[in-house]
């Protein structure tokens, strides 16, 4: 019989190793809520935790594309209700006191709460989250579909809408993977002349079906020349983690165009200064967004019919999901779906509480 006082979680215990464990269910602290997790995306950024990068301690529960329902509310929390559908993204809270926060830029907080890194994340049936980091998730959105939008969706949506590009401008999406396939949908629905840059003729059909007006096969065409023949790209969104591929797009930017980098290559990005100076081009990075940005991402995606292409895995197959994601062997986002209906029902039957 299922023990309603325990929950299952997947923890990173050594570089590259995930282990399924049981943990006692705990109560949320001041300013926190407890979430019964319905789905959690498996994102490449999870490798920082699973591989032990950046000083993340073992054991740690990864996961920052979390969708579930509030089943307990800690002291001092206002504006949230039991049973409410919520999400938690990569940035799960800011300190509110660092220079960035004081200047109104919580996205670049110097001491952030980061799901799955500074605190345990969503590869679990239950998660404790900071109320200030919660995202309202519409009931109409399927949990598995919504989960990737909380990171991959937010990252591409925010980068594009904040880029300065206007409807009708040429905007190129470099890469057609987990980030890129969402980027091309957002770009098309925002009214951009949408171009996809990827390697191989086999990806052309997908690019066009997702809304691209033009596909550039980087193995057969000179990317910069094609972009220049179109008047230059106002924006190139770098979603594929290849530094050389990103760099090759820079000469194809329009005057004052910009390469917006959202994927992290394993090697340095080498830039020819001449390409930047003559044309006043620029290279910039974009990092996720606020909880309000995330809610707007979900709303826009719902209004415009933008969906992630996902493969789902049960929690006990988290290692397989992670390994396949790292090999780029999923189409195109991996999502953990938590438990059987019986298991989720047992967890839901636990007494819930709201503390003053």
Task: Among 233, 255, 285, identify where a domain stops.
Answer: 285
Residue 221: give its domain's CATH number: 3.40.50.720
Same-domain status, 119 and 42: yes
Parent domain of 245: 163-285
- Residue 221, φ and ψ in degrees, nearest 5: -120, 155
In a domain, 178, yes or no: yes
- Is the pTM of the predicted complex or chain greater than 0.85? yes
pLDDT band, residue 339 (cuts 50/70/90): low
pLDDT digits (tens, 9 = 90+) for 200-222: 999 999 999 999 999 999 999 99
Residues 274 and 296 in one domain: no
As a whole number, mean pLDDT of residues 39-56 equals 93
In tens, the pLDDT along 101-150 reads: 999 999 999 999 999 999 999 999 999 999 999 999 999 999 999 999 99
Let me know if residue 324 belongs to a domain: yes
pLDDT band at 4 (very low <50, low <70, confident <90, very high): confident
Of the residues 269, 285, 301, the one at which a domain ends:
285
Q: E strands of the chain, at which residues?
A: 6-14, 17-24, 32-42, 66-73, 85-88, 91-93, 113-114, 126-130, 134-136, 170-174, 193-198, 214-217, 233-238, 253-261, 282-285, 310-314, 333-337, 353-354
Q: Which pLDDT score, from 0 to 100, does residue 223 have?
A: 98
pLDDT at 342: 47
Q: What is the pLDDT of residue 53?
A: 87
Q: What mean pLDDT, rounded, does the chain reach?
A: 94
Residues 20, 108, single domain; the answer is yes
Residue 1, pLDDT above cutoff 60: no
Q: Are residues 17 and 146 in the same domain?
A: yes
Mean pLDDT of 190-209: 97
Predicted confidence (pLDDT) at residue 280 exceeds the cutoff of 90: yes
Query: Over the stretch 176-188, which tens digit does the pLDDT of each residue have?
Result: 999 999 999 999 9
Residues 281 and 173 grouped into a single domain:
yes
Give the total number of structural domains in the chain.
2
For position 2, what pLDDT does the model report?
57
258 and 112: one domain?
no
Query: Do 143 and 221 fall within a single domain?
Result: no
Residue 319 pLDDT exceeds 60: yes
Query: Is the residue at 145 inside a domain?
Result: yes
Residue with tokens 């979900």, as numbered in its chain: 298
Predicted confidence at residue 54, as pLDDT, reads: 75
22 with 127, same domain: the answer is yes
The H-assigned helical ranges of the chain are: 47-50, 99-102, 143-148, 154-161, 180-189, 204-209, 223-229, 243-247, 273-277, 291-304, 318-326, 341-348
The count of other CB atoms within 10 Å of the CB of residue 214 is 17
**Residue 203 within any structural domain of the chain:** yes
Please give the Cα distance from 217 to 179 (Å, whole number).
Answer: 18
Say whether pLDDT at 347 is over 60: no
**Residue 182's pLDDT is what?**
98
Strands 233-238 and 253-261: parallel
Q: What is the mean pLDDT of residues 51-68?
A: 94
- Determine the pLDDT at residue 39: 98
Task: Identify the pLDDT of residue 351.
Answer: 46
Residue 158 counted as domain residue: no
User: What is the CATH number for 84?
Assistant: 3.90.180.10
Question: Tokens 């200047």 sit at which residue?
Answer: 103
């Amino acid at each position: 019989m299922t023990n309603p006082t325990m929950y299952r979680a997947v923890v990173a215990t050594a570089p590259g190793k995930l282990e399924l464990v049981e943990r006692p269910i705990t109560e949320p602290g001041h300013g926190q809520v407890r979430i019964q997790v319905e789905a959690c995306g498996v994102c490449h950024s999870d490798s920082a935790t699973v591989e032990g990068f950046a000083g993340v301690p073992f054991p740690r529960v990864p996961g920052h594309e979390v969708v579930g329902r509030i089943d307990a509310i800690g002291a001092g929390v206002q504006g949230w209700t039991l049973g409410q559908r919520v999400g938690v993204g990569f940035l799960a809270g800011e300190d509110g006191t660092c220079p960035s926060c004081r200047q109104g830029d919580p996205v670049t907080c110097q001491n952030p709460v980061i799901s799955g890194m500074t605190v345990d994340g969503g590869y679990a049936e239950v998660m404790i989250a900071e109320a200030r980091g919660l995202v309202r998730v519409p009931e109409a959105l399927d949990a598995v579909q919504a989960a990737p939008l909380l990171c991959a969706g937010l990252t591409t949506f925010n980068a594009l809408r904040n880029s300065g590009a206007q409807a009708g401008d040429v905007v190129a999406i470099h890469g057609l993977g987990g980030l890129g396939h969402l980027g091309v949908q957002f770009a098309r629905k925002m009214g951009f002349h949408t171009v996809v840059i990827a390697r191989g003729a086999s990806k052309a059909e997908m690019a066009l079906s997702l809304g691209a007006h033009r596909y550039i096969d980087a193995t057969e065409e000179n990317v910069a020349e094609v972009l220049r023949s179109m008047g230059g790209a106002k924006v190139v969104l770098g979603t594929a983690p290849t530094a050389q591929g990103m760099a090759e797009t820079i000469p194809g930017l329009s005057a004052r165009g910009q390469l917006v980098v959202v994927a992290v290559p394993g090697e340095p990005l080498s830039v020819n200064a001449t390409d930047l100076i003559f044309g006043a081009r620029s290279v910039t990075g974009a990092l996720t967004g606020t909880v309000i940005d995330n809610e707007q991402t979900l709303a826009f995606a719902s209004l415009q019919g933008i969906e992630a292409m996902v493969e789902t895995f049960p929690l006990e197959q988290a290692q397989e999901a992670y390994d396949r994601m790292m090999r780029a062997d999923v189409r195109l986002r991996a999502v953990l779906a938590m438990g059987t209906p019986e298991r989720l029902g047992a967890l839901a039957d636990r007494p819930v509480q709201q503390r003053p």
